[in-house]
Structure 1
Amino acid sequence: MLINKLLFFILLFSSAIFAKGMPKEYFEIKDREKQKIYFFEYIYKLSKNENEKILKERNFVKNILNSNLLNIDTNSDEFLKLLKIKKKYRIKKLYDLKSYMSKIDVIPPALSLSQAAIESGWGKSRFVKEANNIFGHWTYNSKIGMIPKQRNAGAKHFIRVFKTMQASVNAYMLNLNRNNAYKAFHKERYAIRLKNKKPTGLKLSQTMINYSGIAEEYLRILKKVILKNNLKKYDKRFYQQIK
């Protein structure tokens, strides 16, 4: 009896960890507007989780680099953590605070929610259902990818497979923060911070020209999704919650 109960909880735990795509109840919602709200609320929670982790890293770096660098113990856990963060975000100079602050910062929810809706077909694409891939990430590693149905002959890319939806959001945010393809995004966000203002998804969405092959059209679509669905309220909520 005890063994059966143990097996039950193992299976339950495993199914929760490796579940694919949006929750079942999402697809049971018949009202289009209510379904969209569910989608945004669900992705918002995932993005908030990652943003909070990013802010912890940001504050850690700010504190350690604003301290007396001459007294930093290079054998300390703090120094080793700084090295790890430097590598993670591909920072060139170890003590360059500006580089860290440009790359280690939040992705405003209005931006992540609009991109999630566009890239995943509102959570209904094959990539989401089979790979937990919300943001259309590619990979050239066959061990962590699946072949796109319409991949051109000779193409070698795969659709990245994630164990969880949370992992997909993590990869998306790290990609935006450390990839040099988004230098305009880093520069604009940093400039906003220098003015003691909060970065917004609507403003930063117009730096995403390199995210999609359709370039300027992609920027127009992002802006339309943000405004039509009033996603600015999620930015406001987030900044209120992290005060």
Structure 2
Amino acid sequence: MKNIKQTAVAGCTLVIFGCAEPEKPAEETKRVTRPDFNVMEDVTHKKQTFFNFLRPAVSQENARVSQERSFLLAIQAQFKVGQAIQENDLDEARQLGDAYKVELTDDKITEQWLDEMLVRVDEIPETLVLSQAANESGWGTSRFAKEGNNYFGQWCYTPGCGLVPSARNEGATHEVAVFSDAQQSVHAYFMNVNRNRAYAELREIRAQERASGHKITGLKLAEGLHRYSERGQDYVDEIQGMIRHNRQYWQQG
């Protein structure tokens, strides 16, 4: 399952488990021309090119999330010692809470709010992101990747919002969302995984690993992806297999 909430992204109405309207980075990311993966016959070259193409977008999203998390940890430190929260910090917390669907109670920061936000606002290992992208897009060769910059199989439901699947079941109304570029697709994936109830298990695993002082790995977080695909555990096993098989390409855990 890859959809639920409707929101505007890249000029279309997108239905994704928590896809937020993309933040504008301080410096506009230079767009890279999408390689033609369909013509690449050498498997090693194709994989390396695919990962290199999406890796900058993954790094940018993890940098964004890391910055947001640092802000929350600073607020938490102030909160624990009873220090008053400045109005501008409260405004930022309010906006961040809205983005992650954890609204402030009575417009105040609470310990419960901080705890929930810190579970959601956390990094996702590139091994998991890139493996899912490769799996969902057929290594960038799918129609949806080529025509819609959609590398994670995200759906939308408003007529005309995306591309109509050729094999859509009778009576189904979903379309496959279209993004302006790969960065938007990766951003939508991050917001999807980090704030939707379908992936609460993944976030809980991540929080437990962090609390235990363990390195957060894609292999471990993949255990929480049972609801990403109707295939359930078979999908989890496949993603973990891809992470292990492609370890020569990973730069992070």
TM-score, structure 1 normalization: 0.82
CA displacement 1:93-123 (0-9 Å, x = unmatched): 5422211110000111110011001100000
User: Are 2:68 and 1:51 aligned?
Assistant: no
Deviation of the 1:231 alpha carbon = 6.2
Deviation of the 1:29 alpha carbon = 3.8
Structure 1 residues 198 and 92: alpha-carbon distance in aligned structure 2, compared to 1, 3 A threshold: farther
Name 2:85's counterpart in structure 1: 72
Of 162, 180, 189, the match for 2:206: 189
More helix by share: 1
User: Are 2:217 and 1:205 aligned?
Assistant: no
User: Are 2:127 and 1:110 aligned?
Assistant: yes
| Farther-moved stretch of structure 1 (105-114 vs 138-147) | 138-147
Structure 1 residues 102 and 149: alpha-carbon distance in aligned structure 2, compared to 1, 3 A threshold: same
User: Are 2:245 and 1:228 aligned?
Assistant: yes
Name 2:140's counterpart in structure 1: 123
Q: Which consecutive unaligned segments of at least 5 residues does structure 2 have?
A: 1-29
Inter-partner Cα distance in structure 1 for 2:102 and 2:242: 33
TM-score, structure 2 normalization: 0.79
Tell me, what secondary structure is at the counterpart of 1:71?
Answer: coil
Note the aligned Cα RMSD (angstroms): 2.0
Q: Residues 94 and 103 of structure 2 are in contact (CA less than 8 Å); yes or no, is this contact kept in structure 1?
A: no
| Farther-moved stretch of structure 1 (59-68 vs 214-223) | 59-68
Structure 1 residues 221 and 181: alpha-carbon distance in aligned structure 2, compared to 1, 3 A threshold: same
Name 1:85's counterpart in structure 2: 96
What percentage of residue pairs aligned between the two structures are identical?
A: 33
User: Are 2:40 and 1:23 aligned?
Assistant: no
Tell me, what secondary structure is at the counterpart of 2:171?
Answer: coil
Name 1:10's counterpart in structure 2: none
User: Are 2:118 and 1:101 aligned?
Assistant: yes
Inter-partner Cα distance in structure 2 for 1:130 and 1:42: 16
Q: Which consecutive unaligned segments of at least 5 residues does structure 1 have?
A: 1-15, 237-243
Tell me, what secondary structure is at the counterpart of 2:201?
Answer: helix
Tell me, what secondary structure is at the counterpart of 2:200?
Answer: helix
Of 165, 169, 173, the match for 2:182: 165
